[in-house]
Amino acid sequence: MRNPIQYECRCRAGCTFTGNTGFKQHIKSKTHKDFIKNYKKYYSEIDKANDTIKELRVENEFFNKKEY
């Protein structure tokens, strides 16, 4: 493969893998396990905020189309 798709994990900066075998190795790492264990501590607020932003954008588009 010349340009394989690279997937990135948020557990560590610069942590990328390109396939299933790389992913399987990555999820066994101590850093990833600690990240999953403490996920709510680090990223739950950000994910909730992103969901709220998406919902508000949809509502905004709905109201803009309703005016016309």
d(CA 7, CA 27): 13
List the chain domain ranges: 1-37, 39-68
- pTM listed for this prediction: 0.58
**pLDDT band per the 50, 70, 90 thresholds, residue 13:** confident
Q: What is the pLDDT of residues 24-45, one digit of tens each?
A: 998 999 999 998 898 888 788 8
What average pLDDT is seen over the chain? 87
d(CA 66, CA 15): 44
Residue 28, judged by CB atoms within 10 A of its CB (0-12, 13-18, 19+), counts as exposed
